[in-house]
Structure 1
Amino acid sequence: MTPTTISAPLTPKADTRPHIVKLKVFWKTTRKWTVADVADYQASAPELAEQIRTEKYRSKGGDIHSNRFTCEDFAVRLLIQYAASKGLPIKLVDGVRTYRNMEVYGQPAHGKYDSSMYGFADMVELTYGAPDMQRINSNSISLPNVDDLRPGDILALTKDLKGQMSRRLAHHIQLVVSTSKDAINIYQGNSDDTIHRPITWINKILGRNAADPQQPPYAGLPIEIGAFYKTGMDGTIEIR
């Protein structure tokens, strides 16, 4: 992972005062990712996905809620929650900017979000979309065989009608939790119809954003469970 560059002004040699750099730390990075960490993430993904799906939390008003996520937000949250618990670094890139769990303080969002994995997740999820999960030659690959899938892998749906209309860019994200010779089991977040025009236009006029997890109009839905089943000797699959 590319380290964050911190610059400091040049001063006379006699000036020994330290240059103070203020950081926004969502969680401390204590070590780098290793092959063993990737394997542990894969092993932990099914249990962690179920934990996020079923856990409850209390809002500031005292009400009990279940987690809701759009498709990409759920996949991002699972990765963030694992990395934060292990002191591992996260770098996520979208069309707005690069997000890191430790950043030089100064972004407009830094004062808005808690210095925790939850604050980091909310900040990233505001701008990170399904197409950001499919940056060719950057963060995605095409597997030659579905049997190569592992728990924690992310499926980017591109080859259906909607994907063809968007130039084969991902429009929906699913998270693999287990595989067998017969099926690929997935968890997914999803969105309601508020992410489509003209509702998005109305929300913008009213100062609302269905992509913001901290706003009531957030479009995320409860986590769903599904599976792809192999239907033939040629490896074709169907979703149920």
Structure 2
Amino acid sequence: MSNVIWAPLTRQADETPYTCKLKVYWKTTRLWTDSDIQAYHAQVPQLAEAARLSGRRFTCEDFTLELLCDFASKRGLPVKLTDGVREYRNMDIYDPDYHENYPQTPRGFITMVMVSFGAPDIQRSGENTVRLSDPRALLPGDILALSHDSKGRASGGRAHHIQVVTGKTESSISIYQGNSNWQIHKPITWVNKLFGRNSADPSQDAYAGMKPETGLFIRAANGWNYRNNTTGATQTDFLKYFELYRWDFLEFNH
């Protein structure tokens, strides 16, 4: 395995050398600052459109991961995410069980996280994100988590769809989103697993992601009405079913 950093570590009272082996997907050269966060918000519309035109497919949560990691890797900024089972860092202590199958590139990191990270992981406030209380606070790059429609209520408010804000005015909110095709549903996922395929792995043909879509919320007298610009589907007073989040950028520094 090439490009692994070996870092000798010793305890203060212990002269026995210890070795820490790191897997580096991109080097952290500096930490997030307010100016970096502002730059992320400013660049998200361009990042989202570039991802849409890239020809890649994305599930909904994978699309927002793509934008975050694309921005951070090009600036040497850290990313630290958790799915509740393990933590993912762009520079991480090497573990062959997790790291061996992914190249030491930003794309390798993105793929590794996408395999395990789901829409409910956006709701890990204080770890991955911070929660926003008002649509007026939304900025490009912020995240809408569909959690309180009938499907969300049936699972106790567990998010099952994610959208990324790309623009906002007093009367409108523009979004981009990934989506999932029929391969994400049971029993197809069981069949895929039986044959060693994974609908959550963007490197496989069985990946359930779709080409990114765009949409628009329009403020109305009774709430925020929604239209999917790609499919033409509409929903009345739809924003009330979403929770609002922002990446916890400063937490990534720790």
Same fold (TM over 0.5): yes
Q: Which has more strand, going by share of residues?
A: 2
Residues 96 and 127 in structure 1, CA contact (< 8 A), matched pair in contact too: no
Choose from 148, 163, 167 the match for 1:159. 148
Q: Contact conserved, 2:41 with 2:139, CA < 8 A, in 1?
A: yes
Q: Partners in 1 of 2:43 and 2:96 — Cα distance?
A: 32
Deviation at 1:140, TM superposition (A): 4.2
Residues 25-44 of structure 1 aligned to structure 2 (within 5 Å) = 25-44=24-43
Q: Write the distance in 1 (CA, Å) between the matches of 2:145 and 2:158.
A: 8
Determine if the alignment matches structure 1 residue 123 to structure 2 residue 122.
no
Check whether the contact 1:178–1:184 (CA below 8 A) recurs between aligned residues: yes
Give yes or no for contact 2:81–2:128 (8 Å, CA) kept in 1: no
Cross-structure match for 1:228: 217
Which residue number in structure 2 is paired with residue 22 of structure 1? 21
**Separation (CA, whole Å) in 2 of partners of 1:70 and 1:208:** 16
Partner amino acid, structure 2, of 1:41 = Y
Query: Deviations along 1:160-215, whole A, 9 cap, x unmatched?
Result: 11111111111101000000121100000000111111111111111111011111
Report the counterpart of residue 169 of structure 2 in structure 1: 180
Q: Please name the residue that 1:202 is paired with.
A: 191
Q: Deviations over 1:64-102 (max 9, x none)?
A: xx1100000010111001000100000000033100000
CA contact (8 A) 1:189 1:222 kept: yes
**What aligned pairs does 1:77-226 form with structure 2 within 5 A after superposition?**
77-226=66-215
**1:81–1:117 Cα contact (<8 Å) kept:** yes
Q: TM-score when scaled to structure 1? A: 0.86
Q: Give the match's secondary structure for 1:126.
A: helix
Distance 1:156 1:133 in 2: 7
The within-5 A match list for 1:36-75 is 36-55=35-54, 66-75=55-64
Matched, 1:239 2:238: no
Give aligned pairs, total.
221
Give the Cα–Cα distance (whole angstroms) in 2 for the partners of residues 19 and 176 of structure 1.
Answer: 45
Q: SS of 1:210's equivalent? A: coil
Q: Under a length normalisation based on structure 2, what TM-score does the superposition of the two structures give?
A: 0.81
* 1:165 counterpart letter in structure 2: A
| Counterparts in 2 of 1:231 and 1:12: CA distance versus 1, 3 Å | closer
Distance 1:12 1:194 in 2: 53
Identity of aligned residues (%): 48
Runs of 4+ in 1 over 6 A off after TM superposition: 9-12
Residue ranges of structure 2 left out of the alignment (5+ in a row): 1-7, 228-254
Residue 8 of structure 1 deviates from its aligned partner by: 5.0
